[in-house]
C-alpha cells in the first residue's frame, strides 16, 4: 500500500497552567517524613545500644574487680596462717578465663605494670586519670572501637584491710600507712565483639529498612507518575475525542464509517438530517440495507475509488442529488479495518448550476433580443400605420374594419413583447434609496385595485409595518406587480391574495401569498425562465425580468408551492444596501 501523506495537526491547548498533584506532594512529604523518622530512630537506637553496652561492660568490669578483691582478702588470710605463693596472680588468671575477657592487669601508682593475665594493652593512663583513681576512687574507661576492646580501670587495694578496721590507734596508723602503700590500679579488658556484631546487625537492619523505604517511596512515586500519565493520556484522549467529534459534526457533509463487514460503526448528525433516519437506527446495520437506493453507487465508489453520483428521496418527496466517495480505513499497523464514506448533498450546487445556466441563457437571450427588437420595432410601427389606414377606408366594409382592428391588436401585442425584450436585454441600473414598506405597499395596492376587483379576488396588504427598505422603488414595484398579476391568474374568484413584509436579522422579506392552484415541481423550476408561461395571454417575461431585478438588488427569491393549495413567493433583500 502506498504511503499516504497526512497533514499533522495539533489540538488547541488550554491556557490553564500546569497544576501539581496534591497526591504527589503528599506522597513525597510522607516519604521524606518516614526517612527522617527512620534516620532519627536508627541514630537513637545506636546511641542507646552504645550506652547499654558501656553500662553492661562497666558492671561486668566492676563485678570482676570486686570478685578479685574478695578473693584476694581471703587468699591473704590463708597465706598468713598457712604460707604459700602469691594468690593474686592466681585470681587474675582464673578470672580472665572467660572468652570475652581479654586481660586483667594490675598497675602501680605510677602506671607501671605489676601483674597481668592475658594480653593487656600498653598503658595509656594519664597523670590526671591516675590521680583521679587513686585519690577519689573514680573509674576510668577506654573504648578502642577499632580493636573492639573496652577497658575498665579503678583503684584496687591488696590485703585484708576489712578485718583490721577495729584495732588500737597506734597500730591503726601503721596499718593505714601500709594500706596506702598497697593501693594499686587494676584494669579489666573486655572484648566488644558481640556488641559490635549486634550494632552492625542494627546498622544493616537500618540500611535494609532504608532501602525498603526508598524502594517503596520510589515505587509509590513511579506508580503516581504512571497514574498522572494515565490521567494525562485519558484527558488527551477525551480532548481528542471531543475535538474529532466537533470537527466531524461541523463538516457540512454526511460522514459514515464502516467495519470490514460493511456494518455502520458511526456517523455524524448530517447523516441523520440527510437520510431522515435516527442515528440509533443506523448503527450496526449493513450499509446496503440502511440505504438501499444508494447501494450501487456505494459499491461503485468503493471499488473504483472515485466519486459516484446517486439520488435519494427527501421527506417531502423531492429528489436529492448526492455524490458518494469512499476511502479505506486503516489502523496503526496499516491493516484495513473498514471504510469511510463521505456523502455530499449536491442540491445547493445543483441549484447554483441551474442559476448559472439560467443567467447564461438569459444573458445570451438578452444579446439576441437587443438585436432583434430593434429590427422588429420599426416595421411594426409601419404595419400598424398601414392597418389603421386600411381600416378607415370606406370601401373596406365591416369585415375589413374587423380584420384591421385584429391586425392592430396583434401588432400591439407583438410590440409589447418587443418592449419586454428590450427591457430584459438592457436593464437600467437601480437607484437605491430608503423607502418605507407601507408607502410601497399602498402604491402597489392602488395600482392593483381594479384588477383585483375585476377578478373578484380578496386582496389584503400589511400596513403600519414601520419597516424601512433600501431599494429602487420603481423596479421593485414592477416586481410586485408581476407577482400579483401571476397570483391573480392562478387564483379563482373568491380566493385570497396577501402582501406583507417580514424583517429578519440581515434581510427583509417581501411576501406574496395566494390561495391559487399552485405549481408542480417542473413548473416551479421553470417559472423564472424567459418565455415560459402557463397562461394563454402571457408572454413569459414578467418573472424573468423580476428575477433580473432581484439579482440587481443582490436579493433572491424563495418559492414554496403545493399543487391545489397555493403559492408563497418571498423576495429577500439585504438590509441597508446602498445606504
Assess whether 57 and 182 both reside in one domain: yes
Residue 53 CB partners (closer than 8 Å, separation 6+): 150, 192, 195, 199
Assess whether 333 and 392 both reside in one domain: no
Structural domain contains residue 235: no
Tens digit of pLDDT at every position of the chain (579 positions): 444 444 444 555 555 554 556 766 776 787 788 778 877 877 787 777 778 888 888 888 888 888 887 777 666 555 544 444 567 778 788 887 888 888 888 888 787 888 888 888 777 778 888 788 877 778 888 888 788 888 888 887 765 444 444 556 655 555 455 555 667 888 888 888 877 787 788 778 878 887 887 888 788 778 878 888 888 888 888 888 888 778 777 778 888 888 888 888 888 877 777 777 776 777 777 877 777 777 777 777 777 767 778 877 776 667 778 888 888 888 878 888 888 888 888 777 777 777 777 677 666 666 666 666 666 767 777 777 777 777 777 776 777 778 787 787 777 777 766 766 666 666 668 888 999 999 999 999 988 888 888 889 999 998 888 889 989 888 898 899 889 988 998 888 888 999 999 998 889 999 999 998 888 888 888 888 777 777 766 667 778 888 888 888 889 899 999 888 899 999 999 987 544
Helix (H) or strand (E) run with residue 74 in it: helix 22-82
CATH of the domain at 150: 3.30.450.20
Assess whether 397 and 495 both reside in one domain: no
Structural domain contains residue 214: no
Residues composing the chain: 579
CA distances from 287 to 226, 256, 321 (A): 42, 9, 18
Nine-digit cell string for 465: 409595518
What pLDDT shows up at residue 163? Answer: 44
Assess whether 269 and 177 both reside in one domain: no
CA angle 247, 252, 254 (to 5 degrees): 90
What pLDDT shows up at residue 374? Answer: 61
Structural domain contains residue 142: yes
Helix axes 347-391, 542-552, angle to 10 degrees: 130
Structural domain contains residue 211: no
Assess whether 317 and 386 both reside in one domain: no
The single-letter DSSP state of residue 166 is: S
- For 532, the 3-state DSSP assignment is coil
Single residue among 176, 198, 220 that ends a domain in this structure:
198
- This prediction has a pTM of 0.43
Task: For 198-253, give the DSSP string.
Answer: HHHHHHHHHHHHHHHHHHHHHHHHHHHHHHHHHHHHHHHHHHHHHHHHHHHHHSSS
Structural domain contains residue 229: no
Assess whether 562 and 509 both reside in one domain: yes
The whole-angstrom separation of Cα 189 and Cα 105 is 8
Single residue among 183, 198, 213 that ends a domain in this structure:
198
The domain of 89 spans 24-198
Taking only Cα atoms into account, the Rg of the chain, rounded to an integer number of angstroms, comes to 61
Assess whether 438 and 560 both reside in one domain: yes
Assess whether 329 and 445 both reside in one domain: no
What pLDDT shows up at residue 511? Answer: 94
Whether residue 375 contacts residue 418, with contact meaning beta carbons closer than 8 Å, is answered with no
Assess whether 102 and 170 both reside in one domain: yes
Single residue among 198, 220, 237 that ends a domain in this structure:
198
Nine-digit cell string for 190: 573486655
Structural domain contains residue 236: no
Structural domain contains residue 98: yes
Of 265, 272, 326, nearest in space to 297 by CA: 326
As for how many domains the chain has, the answer is: 4
Assess whether 559 and 446 both reside in one domain: yes
Assess whether 393 and 280 both reside in one domain: no
Structural domain contains residue 223: no
Cβ atoms < 10 Å from Cβ of 276: 11
What pLDDT shows up at residue 161? Answer: 46
Residue 324 CB partners (closer than 8 Å, separation 6+): 294, 297, 298, 301, 307, 308, 309, 310, 341, 342, 343, 344
Assess whether 54 and 187 both reside in one domain: yes
What pLDDT shows up at residue 577? Answer: 58
Amino acid at each position: 500500500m502506498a504511503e499516504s501523506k497526512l497533514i499533522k495537526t495539533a489540538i488547541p491547548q488550554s491556557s490553564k497552567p500546569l497544576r501539581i498533584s496534591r497526591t504527589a506532594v503528599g506522597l513525597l512529604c510522607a516519604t521524606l517524613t518516614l526517612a527522617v523518622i527512620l534516620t532519627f530512630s536508627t541514630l537513637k537506637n545506636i546511641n542507646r545500644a552504645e550506652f547499654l553496652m558501656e553500662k553492661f561492660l562497666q558492671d561486668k568490669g566492676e563485678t570482676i574487680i570486686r570478685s578479685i578483691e574478695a578473693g584476694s582478702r581471703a587468699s591473704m588470710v590463708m597465706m598468713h596462717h598457712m604460707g604459700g605463693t602469691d594468690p593474686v596472680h592466681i585470681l587474675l588468671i582464673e578470672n580472665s578465663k572467660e572468652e570475652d575477657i581479654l586481660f586483667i592487669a594490675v598497675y602501680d601508682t605510677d602506671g607501671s605494670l605489676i601483674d597481668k593475665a592475658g594480653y593487656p594493652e600498653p598503658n595509656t593512663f594519664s597523670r590526671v586519670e591516675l590521680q583521679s583513681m587513686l585519690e577519689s576512687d573514680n573509674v576510668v574507661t577506654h573504648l578502642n572501637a577499632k580493636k573492639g576492646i573496652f577497658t575498665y580501670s579503678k583503684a584496687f587495694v591488696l590485703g585484708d584491710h576489712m578485718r583490721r578496721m577495729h584495732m588500737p590507734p597506734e597500730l591503726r596508723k601503721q596499718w593505714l600507712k601500709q594500706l596506702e602503700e598497697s593501693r594499686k590500679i587494676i584494669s579489666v579488658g573486655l572484648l566488644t565483639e558481640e556488641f559490635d556484631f549486634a550494632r552492625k546487625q542494627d546498622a544493616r537492619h537500618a540500611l535494609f529498612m532504608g532501602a525498603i523505604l526508598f524502594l517503596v517511596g520510589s515505587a509509590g512515586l513511579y506508580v503516581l507518575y504512571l497514574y498522572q500519565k494515565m490521567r494525562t493520556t485519558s484527558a488527551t484522549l477525551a480532548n481528542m475525542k471531543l475535538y474529532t467529534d466537533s470537527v466531524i459534526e461541523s463538516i457540512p457533509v454526511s460522514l459514515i464509517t464502516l467495519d470490514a463487514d460493511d456494518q455502520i460503526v458511526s456517523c455524524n448528525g448530517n447523516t441523520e438530517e440527510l437520510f431522515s433516519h435516527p442515528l440509533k437506527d443506523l448503527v450496526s446495520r449493513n450499509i446496503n440495507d440502511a440505504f438501499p437506493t444508494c447501494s450501487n453507487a456505494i459499491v461503485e465508489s468503493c471499488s473504483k475509488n472515485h466519486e459516484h453520483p446517486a439520488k435519494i428521496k427527501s421527506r417531502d418527496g423531492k429528489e436529492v442529488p448526492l455524490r458518494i466517495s469512499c476511502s479505506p480505513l486503516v489502523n496503526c499497523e496499516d491493516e484495513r479495518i473498514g471504510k469511510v464514506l463521505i456523502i455530499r448533498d449536491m442540491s445547493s450546487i445543483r441549484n447554483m448550476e441551474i442559476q448559472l445556466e439560467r443567467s447564461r441563457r438569459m444573458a445570451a437571450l438578452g444579446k439576441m433580443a437587443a438585436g432583434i427588437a430593434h429590427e422588429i420595432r420599426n416595421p411594426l410601427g409601419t404595419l400598424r400605420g398601414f392597418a389603421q389606414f386600411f381600416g378607415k377606408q370606406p370601401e373596406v366594409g365591416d369585415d375589413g374594419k374587423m380584420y384591421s382592428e385584429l391586425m392592430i391588436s396583434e401588432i400591439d401585442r407583438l410590440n409589447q413583447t418587443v418592449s419586454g425584450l428590450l427591457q430584459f436585454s438592457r436593464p437600467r441600473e437601480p437607484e437605491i434609496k430608503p423607502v418605507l414598506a407601507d408607502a410601497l405597499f399602498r402604491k402597489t395596492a392602488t395600482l392593483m385595485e381594479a384588477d383585483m376587483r375585476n377578478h373578484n379576488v380578496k386582496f389584503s396588504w400589511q400596513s403600519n409595518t414601520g419597516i424601512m427598505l433600501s431599494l429602487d422603488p420603481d423596479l421593485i414595484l414592477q416586481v410586485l406587480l408581476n407577482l400579483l398579476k401571476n397570483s391573480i391568474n392562478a387564483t379563482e374568484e373568491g380566493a385570497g391574495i396577501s402582501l406583507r413584509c417580514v424583517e429578519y436579522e440581515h434581510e427583509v422579506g417581501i411576501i406574496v401569498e395566494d390561495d391559487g392552484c399552485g405549481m408542480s415541481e417542473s413548473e416551479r423550476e421553470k417559472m423564472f425562465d424567459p418565455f415560459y408561461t402557463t397562461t394563454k395571454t402571457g408572454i413569459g417575461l414578467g418573472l424573468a425580468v423580476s428575477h433580473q431585478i432581484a439579482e440587481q438588488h443582490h436579493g433572491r427569491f424563495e418559492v414554496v408551492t403545493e399543487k391545489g393549495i397555493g403559492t408563497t413567493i418571498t423576495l429577500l433583500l439585504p438590509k441597508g444596501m446602498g445606504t
